[in-house]
Structure 1
């Protein structure tokens, strides 16, 4: 298990590229740089650190936290109240498990309150959580229309189910990197076809880490 705070981002990037059997030149092309860019970063220390956009793209490709590639550590997004509860905002952004929902303003209309020790037990302590509702049936039987989901914006790798934005439209899908620079949106309901897109056309909002729904 890597301890991000103790890891040199250059060594970590090199290790990740070897684990995934992808060259530094290919990764340089992935972030829109010349083929020698990341080789110089790893071998010569130039640039001194990765730019934010480059770091985010690489972290998402490898499914790791940005801190492993030199990004800042993030503090808890929702501070604990004096009564031991944490407030999670509910956003009016119904994410589509179907044709797609257009983006709305991210202004909370309500909130949930959870005990901080429950969040800790669920592994969600320090997560940057928002609660939103699912619409549509493309993620059944995992997610149903009307389910409330927690989305952690701190987690934007490719493992698990994510909320993504494509052309201003929000979707909840499983993600797979099918080729360098390509990403596939996968529905649990196999009546819906997979959609493969260029990586730059998909904005990963966050990973779905919890759900609730009617019985």
Structure 2
């Protein structure tokens, strides 16, 4: 491994601190690190692991210096920067709040470094956003309107003529909303669902998904398609919401009591779930406004 380059990255994290102070904070052997620094040889692997963990940096970046600018990291970086600027925080402000070195956070925002799961959770809590929101691009649904063909039912001989502009196309995601135990959502579009403008109203931020689970039976069954208004997150009585909980999506009746969000199923065979909002500040994805099902 190129020792000189490793020491340039160690120095970047050191930020002008004396080596004695640096070693004491990180838990490194000062004499060993001093010898490596003077000879410009790489520290041992155990020391490098300690440095990466202390500064919450990616170990591969520390060792190789290579930028991991894949699509996911670039999307995460854009979202982190966007949410930070919405709160008028500087890079140093956010870095201090989440206990991440400012240089590391800058690399995250540029999409050059992988964001660890624990850092993502801290960012989500501090920026008051659900973790999955960092993975969704703005205006991602839908980018293009698919070609639509609308047919008149043979039973509606004298009904008004149907027009394509009377319908809204809503993206149907491949992954399901768990109406029982939450599952992991894949941010992909499987198909499009048509909803008449009278039902959609002025709602714009709509997405559809299939229900998987039995906690909301008999109202919702596994395989039913539900439409979610992602702009409607205000808790109302007797309304069903899509919730991000335990690394997945679930559909439930919702109540809020102080700092607790209570998720109530319809099916008595399923337990009530409770979310502490101080730990998970933004679990509501949106209100479920309708469903399509076979009888």
TM class by smaller structure: 0.5 to 0.7
The 8 Å contact of residues 80 and 86 in structure 1, kept in 2 or not, is answered as no
Residue 203 (structure 1) aligned with residue 203 (structure 2): no
Residues 66-118 of structure 1: per-residue CA shift (max 9 Å, x gap): xxxxxxxxxxx8799994132111101211111221122x221211233xxx3
The 8 Å contact of residues 92 and 109 in structure 1, kept in 2 or not, is answered as yes
Aligned to 2:208: 131
Aligned to 2:293: 213
From the two aligned structures, give the one with the greater helix fraction: 2
Q: Distance in 2 between matches of 1:113 and 1:181?
A: 37
Task: Please tell me whether Structure 1 or Structure 2 has the larger radius of gyration of its CA atoms.
Answer: 2
Q: Distance in 1 between matches of 2:215 and 2:203?
A: 30
Aligned to 1:90: 172
From the two aligned structures, give the one with the greater strand fraction: 1
Residues 130-150 of structure 1: per-residue CA shift (max 9 Å, x gap): 110001111011111111000
Residue 108 (structure 1) aligned with residue 208 (structure 2): no
The one of 237, 249, 254 aligned to 1:175: 254
Runs of 4+ more than 3 Å apart? 50-54, 77-83
Return 5+ residue gaps in structure 1 as ranges.
1-49, 58-76
Q: Distance in 2 between matches of 1:185 and 1:191?
A: 14
How many residues in Structure 1 have an aligned counterpart in Structure 2?
Answer: 141
**In structure 2, do the counterparts of structure 1 residues 123 and 89 end up closer, same or farther at CA, with 3 Å as the change threshold?**
closer
The one of 268, 274, 277 aligned to 1:190: 268
Return 5+ residue gaps in structure 2 as ranges.
1-85, 89-123, 129-140, 147-162
Q: Distance in 1 between matches of 2:212 and 2:245?
A: 16
Structure 1 residue 128 displacement after superposition: 1.1
The 8 Å contact of residues 215 and 270 in structure 2, kept in 1 or not, is answered as yes
Note the aligned Cα RMSD (angstroms): 3.0
What pairs up with 1:42-121 in 2 under 5 angstroms?
A: 51=87, 83-84=164-165, 85-104=167-186, 106-114=187-195, 118-119=196-197, 121=198
Q: Distance in 2 between matches of 1:83 and 1:98?
A: 36
